[in-house]
Structure 1
Amino acid sequence: MRILIAFLLLLSVPAPLWASQTLWQDVAPDVKMRLVASNSVTPEGTTWIGLEIEMPDDTKTYWRVPGESGIPAKFDFARSQGLTGHTVAWPMPMRETDKGYIDHVYYGHTVLPLELDIDADEVLIDVDIVLGICSDVCVPVAAQFTQHLDFAQPDRANGLRIDQARALVPVQWNGQNDLFGAASFDAQARTIMVAVEPAGYDMGSVIAHVANSMALFGPPELDETNGVLIFPLLGNGKTAPRDGDRLHLTFLTGNGAYEVVSVLDF
């Protein structure tokens, strides 16, 4: 009888203690989320997990700079053990204009990869997550996940799932041509101007993002006379960039998504 009771108690545990994924959590109508883990350690001393979001094809969530109507994502790992930091590796988003608002979004099934800095053989993830989910209405949704990582048992299936999501993340441009030149911000015109060499990428796909800022810039306009891409700053300008800020330009090519980082001049 004691064995039976113990077995039933084990079945009642919300998630396996040493699993490579958590149970799904319903966070909105027809939307659920879970964490998946590779359970492997990189040579740099990090490990990869993924936030898997199951949504209908007409439902969306948002990029690191969500946009005019989007809701920014928040990841709080403060209660975790064996972690010293985390980085969200954001896949290339879609820029869309809906009801006059410009946002950066992901539709349908989405996996957000996260790289965790670890300093222990045993790691406990205890994370609070807030995301914006938008279908007919846009709402913030919250989930809390607890998961032990077992590095003695790597999960190849989840590792592949995370790797497929990482393949959509822009990588540093290392082509032979310098696609972008000097970048500057014109405070009076409220625009970023970037010198360009038109070749090998979709200019309309370029997203300008200032590091550690929620400043939103509109789609680029090409000034052919001066050979520059112009990105207008949207909103009231309270989050305008400052001299020396790092400018990230993400863009699409026939070989995938890339990123170029430069320093803004004023």
Structure 2
Amino acid sequence: MQRRFFLPSLIVPLFASLAFAVFAGQATAAQSDWSEGERSRLRLIASPVDGEVMAGIEIELEPGWHTYWRSPGDVGIPPRFDFSGSENLRSAKVLYPAPERYDDGTSISAVYFDRAALPVLVTADDPTKPVVLKLSAFYGVCKDVCIPADGAATLTIDPQPQDDPRSRIALKEAVAELPQQGPAAGLAIESPQRDGSDVTIPVAAERAPEQAPALFAEAPDGAYLPVPELGTHEGGSFVYRLRFSSPQEAKALSGKELRFTLVSGGEAIEQSMKLP
């Protein structure tokens, strides 16, 4: 079943930056060639989406295989996307649709199954020239075993490219699956609370109280955090527990801002909060 998520408010100003990378010129292909990897393949795509030019990284996996979100969880390989070889590129920001929570019986991860499309917000150095987007990618794929994969793709992005329905639909669906910034109606993450060496995080998920939501936590500077465990719940109120391996580990993050992503009932939100 395909999920639908709110368009986050931060997308509007980020999309606006793309206007500076849109200029008159000859349209080019909307898709790069596929780059074959282990149990997967990867390419770049681009198309107008709601009046703005967007790029994206499209990853297809063999049936039953998955790849990892920006913070993989207990196990997995975080993806790395390098655009340093690009031409006329000021910045390229990769955005991540909300992941799925995957429990293999021994560990819990944040993943995408079968296919992932990641929007990329591109800004040109010189808005009068095309951007030659060159991607070098390293990511993990997993089923019964986990394997590192890599790929490379190049796509020239001109202004007002011809509409490519397949790329446009893939990008529009990916944008719709980005978490909303801050609480939504019936969906919220409350302030973390200290409980010994652990931290508890109350959440409200009133739209789909019959199914526990998935909560993901990320620490600054890429520090490892486990996937929060579901504790007590009643109706649409749930309490998650972030378990640290030692009091020292918990103390090291005290006062630092963590980013939480909550996925429930086809919606997702993202909130940043300081640990007590």
Given the two structures, how large is their TM-score scaled by the length of structure 2? 0.74
Q: Within 2, Cα distance between the matches of 1:168 and 1:232?
A: 25
Specify the alignment match of 2:272 in structure 1. 262
Do residues 28 (structure 1) and 28 (structure 2) align? no
Higher relative contact order (CA 8 A, sep 6+): 2
Q: Within 2, Cα distance between the matches of 1:50 and 1:94?
A: 20
Q: Within 2, Cα distance between the matches of 1:169 and 1:161?
A: 13
Q: Deviations over 1:182-222 (max 9, x none)?
A: 22455x42x33224446224544222333543422332212
Q: Deviations over 1:140-180 (max 9, x none)?
A: 11112222111132434212221112222222355355733
Task: Give, as a single letter, the amino acid of the residue that structure 1 aligns with 2:116.
Answer: T
Aligned residues of 1:217 and 1:234 also touching (Cα < 8 A) = no
Which structure would you say has the larger Rg?
1
Deviation, structure 1 residue 223: 6.5
Aligned pair in 2 of structure 1 residues 40, 104: CA closer, same or farther (>3 Å)?
Answer: closer
Helix, strand or coil at the partner of 2:45: strand
Q: Within 2, Cα distance between the matches of 1:70 and 1:84?
A: 30
Q: Deviations over 1:39-70 (max 9, x none)?
A: 57967xxx422221222221110111112221
Q: Tell me how many residue pairs correspond in the alignment.
A: 240
**Runs of 4 or more consecutive aligned structure 1 residues displaced over 6 Å after TM superposition:** 40-43
Q: Which runs of 5+ in 2 are unaligned?
A: 1-26
Q: Which runs of 5+ in 1 are unaligned?
A: 1-16
Q: Within 1, Cα distance between the matches of 2:106 and 2:255?
A: 30
Alignment equivalent of 2:190, drawn from 172, 181, 186: 181
Specify the alignment match of 2:179 in structure 1. 170
Helix, strand or coil at the partner of 2:273: strand
Q: Within 1, Cα distance between the matches of 2:133 and 2:213?
A: 39
Specify the alignment match of 1:216 in structure 2. 226
Task: Write the mapping of 1:224-263 to structure 2, written as runs, cut at 5 A.
Answer: 229-233=239-243, 241-253=253-265, 256-263=266-273
| Higher mean displacement: 166-175 or 236-245 | 236-245
Aligned pair in 2 of structure 1 residues 178, 34: CA closer, same or farther (>3 Å)?
Answer: closer
Aligned pair in 2 of structure 1 residues 178, 21: CA closer, same or farther (>3 Å)?
Answer: closer
Alignment equivalent of 1:118, drawn from 120, 124, 142: 124
Q: Within 2, Cα distance between the matches of 1:68 and 1:174?
A: 26
Q: Within 2, Cα distance between the matches of 1:18 and 1:109?
A: 25
Q: Within 2, Cα distance between the matches of 1:250 and 1:198?
A: 9
Given the two structures, how large is their TM-score scaled by the length of structure 1? 0.77
Q: Within 1, Cα distance between the matches of 2:186 and 2:61?
A: 39
